[in-house]
Every structure is written in structure tokens, then in C-alpha cells.
Structure 1
């Protein structure tokens, strides 16, 4: 199997939101998107003291894409206008299909704001093709114990399978567009490989630890961009490491983004703004 070629690495740049430490590798100066993966915010790691204000993501709208939120440390409370509500703890994941539009908030639970504690969260935006952009909104929240933790390389690698199939198991979340998504814990010298990737774009972000990706060194807080044609990826840890690894078929459609809306045309963005201002996002039924 021909290995995918590392064609670029994109360091996350610092873009704090108030007192929330935030790094963003995509979009950035060298990469607009890794189709269908649009955007990643890496919040933390940091520790909040007692009586803090928590996360600043109060009610706001979305349309036309999906959000995947990885709670690496701390807790996250979700509530949206489709009636979904949950508190997801460390190791869990939220997968929200904004589709035709909803309003949601992602904030810190009250006990976290009172007591404080460590916090680290990633949020990834995954595009939807035009035919699915007006899908009915949907939400799934899974705790860590609902995500299969599959070991490899004599226990030196653990693949946390969020969506898609691997190692004879299937993740708890079913993606509208066949997205494969994992997080991977690696001990020093641990390795794990993935195949059947030709024609699919890989999303690979190094959260912590130095790794090698098909023989190329990659440092923490770097997005590793690979070619479309190759078929396999091997990740080897130089030290204890944690990475986000996923892949999906490119959509190959125009992307017009404006704030929380991602559509195919400027006219669709204008309509999304009008619908939100008219209160239609608030009227989404569960």
C-alpha cells in the first residue's frame, strides 16, 4: 500500500478568547480547509480557579455543517433549540448536526464555575454537502465509557473510536457523510496504522507529544496535511502523545462562510442571517 505523503504542517496560532487560551491550526495562513474539515479550535489546557465565569460560548446560531467537540479535561454543558441538553465529562464527545439551523450554547456547568478545575476542549467543524446542509438538526453526546478504547501495538496505542469502523468495532456516532473519527493515546515508541485511505482527506492534529507521521516528525499543536492519493498512514510516538485522527471524502463544493454559517453561496448566507433574525432557529422542534 502506498503511504500518504506529508505535504505540509500547519502550526496552530494563538487567538485567545478573553481569558480562554485558544489555538487554531485551521483555517490559517497556509490552509483554508482540509475538505471536509473546516475549522479547529484548541481551548486550553488551563486551570480555572473557584468562582470563575467558565466558558464564554453562550447562545449562538449555526447552519450548514456539523460540530464535533472533544472534552479532553473538565466538563461541558450543552443545550440547544432542538431540545437537546447534556453535560459531557472528560473523555467524552459531542457531535451536533446544525443542518438547517439551531441555536445552542456550550458553557461550563455551575459546579465547575463554583469549584474551578482543569479544562481542555477541542472543537472541530465538519462541512456538509449542499444536499445535506438543510438537514434536520441532530445531536449526540457520548461519555468516555461509551467510546470503544481499542488497543494496538501490545497496549502502547489506544484508539478511541468515535465514528466509523476499525478493529472489528464501530464507533457510537454515525456520521451523515461517512466521517471516520478517533482520538489516539500513544505511549513512547507506540505505533498505530490506518489503511484504505486513498481518495480521502486525513485530519491529523497533534494535541501533545512529538510523533512521526509516515516517517516525518510532527510537533504538538501542529496540523499534519497529507496528500489525497496515498492509501495508508502510520503514526509513531517519540514520547507519550495524544492526537486527533479522522478522515473523510472531499466534498469539492464552494464554501462560503460567514461567522457561524457555512453554505455554498453568498445568497444562502444572506438567507441564513434573515432566518436567524426572524427567530426561525429558535423554533426548531426536537
Structure 2
């Protein structure tokens, strides 16, 4: 088995605000021009303290088409509402997997009780591209509570791998995906190791949420940095230099053209124009402010 080599270890780009509730570092595609298909975008909200507030901060109603949003909470609580009637709150450890497909409106805010109290807030949002054949399919919604996430316990109380999607050593994640994707939270205790294995052609990265790690016995990566791997080799070893949380993402690339405009991710410019027209005609449904 050949080791998967590191292409780069990327520091968090300068943050920007999404609405007034989400301070994020965009690692890709804006922050760094790396190919992580089927993951098109990653906004990482590093840990921040929000003061108490009666009116919750957040992002108002906006559309999406052609992809999925995957939101993972580490601190704080996020409320969601969309035009298909789905709503919910994700707390630390929970995952929300929304399939926009042919079109959806949604809004995201700090959950009301969290907003009233304030405190630490940390999250990740991924945009996962959909194949052309699924871009105009039916929207969907998967709410995955931490208690429902499949777990592989590492030996000798070394920590655990929470399998959100894909599989880890035969443990299958509960999230349904349109293309092959592995998505884990690795929670490792200091001095403990975990071994990962992905096909050579899969685009693979590690987002260090907390702590610091050594990769393949060679290079260190610290909190708020992203480790991007080359598309060769299959094996990765991570060792926790302190108690650490690592988001692991790996997926089979979607080899199709991309046309991107704002909240739309399609294959052609004509499809972008169609998405804008459909949105303006109210075809994405209705969502109350």
C-alpha cells in the first residue's frame, strides 16, 4: 500500500461574514484554488464568541440549485427552515444535509435559546456538487443527530471515528449520497493514531477543527488548517499531538463541466440563466420571512 502524500497544508484565509451570524474562512474555491470535487466549497467557521442577543443573527431567505449543503456543528446551535417545509436545529455534533437539487429556498439562524445566552460558535458548511442527472431532481433533507451517527471506536480508548457518510473499516454512515463520499469526524486522544484509506483518485483533505496532528509521521497540522492530499497513494496515518478533532473528507471526483453563479451550481451557462429565471418566477417555492 502506498502512502498518500500531502500536497499542501493551508492556513485559514481571512474571514468574512455571511449574513450577520456566520464568520467563515472560505478554504475553497475562493481561498485556495484546489480541486476537491465533489466538494465544491468549504466555509469553515472557526471558534468565535457571540454575545447574547434577543434577535438571532443569521442569513435570510436565499435560493440554491444544483448541489447539496452539508452543515456540521461543533459549538453553538443553528436553526434551519426551507421552502419544502423542513425545519430543524443542529446542535454540537449534529449534521444537516440539504439537497437543493432543482431548487430550494432556505434561511439559517442562530437557534433562539443559544442567541439569548450567547457563547462559543464553530461550524463547517460544505457544498457538495451533484451529477448533471441529479441537478434537477427532487429536493431533500437529512437531519442527522450525533446520537444517530455510526461510530468506530479506536482500540485502547484512543478515541473514535464518527462516520457521517461512506464507511470506515466496515462501519457505514447514515447519510445518503449521490456519488461516493467519505465524511468523518475523527476525535482522537493525545498520542493516539488512526489510519485512513481512500482510493488514489479520490480528492481528500483533513480540516483540523481542534488540537494538532502529525500526518504520516512527517508533517504537523494545527487547528484551523486544512491538509490537502495528492491524487496518488491510498494510505494516511494521523497521530494526535494533543486531544484533537479532525473533519475528514474524501470523494470520487465528478468529471463534468461546472458553471457557477452565486447560489447556483450547474453545468452550463444556459442552465444558470434558467435557474435565475425560475427563481425570479417563484418556482423555488415560498418561505416566510
Q: Is the TM-score greater than 0.5?
A: yes
Match of 1:144 among 143, 146, 161: 146
SS of equivalent residue, structure 1 residue 282: coil
Q: Does 1:222 align with 2:222?
A: no
Deviation track 1:190-245 (CA, whole Å, cap 9, x = no partner) reads 11112242221113211222212223222222221112221111111112211110
Identify which range, 60-69 or 148-157, moves more after superposition.
148-157
Partner of 1:252 in structure 2? 255
User: What SS does the aligned partner of 2:285 have?
Assistant: helix
Per-residue CA distance 1:149-174 (angstroms, 9 max, x = gap): 32214222311111112233211211
Map 1:1-286 to 2 at 5 A. Answer: 1-17=1-17, 18=20, 20-214=22-216, 215-282=218-285
Runs of 4+ with deviation above 4 angstroms: none
Offset at 1:32? 4.2
Q: 1:164 to 1:19 in 2, by over 3 A?
A: closer
Task: Verify the 8 A CA contact 1:256 1:264 in the aligned structure 2.
Answer: yes
Secondary structure of the residue aligned to 2:16 is coil
* Aligned 8 A contact 2:13 2:31 in 1: no
Q: 1:81 and 1:186, CA in 2 relative to 1: closer, same or farther beyond 3 A?
A: same
How far does the alpha carbon of each residue in 1:103-161 deviate from its partner, in whole angstroms, 9 at most, with x for none? 01111222222222322111011111212111211010111111123221422231111
| Cα pair distance change 1:107/1:283, threshold 3 Å | closer
- For normalisation by structure 1, the TM-score amounts to 0.93
State the superposition RMSD in angstroms: 1.8
Query: 2:113 & 2:165 partners in 1: Cα distance?
Result: 30
Give the structure-2-normalised TM-score. Answer: 0.92
Contact 1:53 1:113 in 2 (8 A): yes
Between stretches 91-100 and 21-30, larger displacement belongs to 21-30
Mapped to 2, the partners of 1:56 and 1:110 lie a distance apart of 11
What SS does the aligned partner of 2:279 have? Answer: helix
| 1:283 to 1:50, Cα distance in 2 relative to 1, 3 A | closer
3-state secondary structure, aligned to 1:131: helix
1:28 and 1:153 map into 2 onto residues whose CA distance is 39
Structure 1 portions without partners, runs of 5+: none
State the alpha-carbon separation in 2 of the partners of residues 126 and 102 from structure 1.
15
CA contact (8 A) 2:21 2:110 kept: no
CA distance in 2, matches of 1:28, 1:8: 16
Identify if the C-alpha distance between structure 1 residues 197 and 156 changes in structure 2 by more than 3 Å, giving closer, same or farther.
same
Number of aligned residue pairs: 284
Gaps of 5+ in 2: none
CA separation of 1:273/1:173 partners in 2, compared to 1, >3 Å: closer, same or farther? same
Residues of 1 paired with 2:263 and 2:226: CA distance? 22
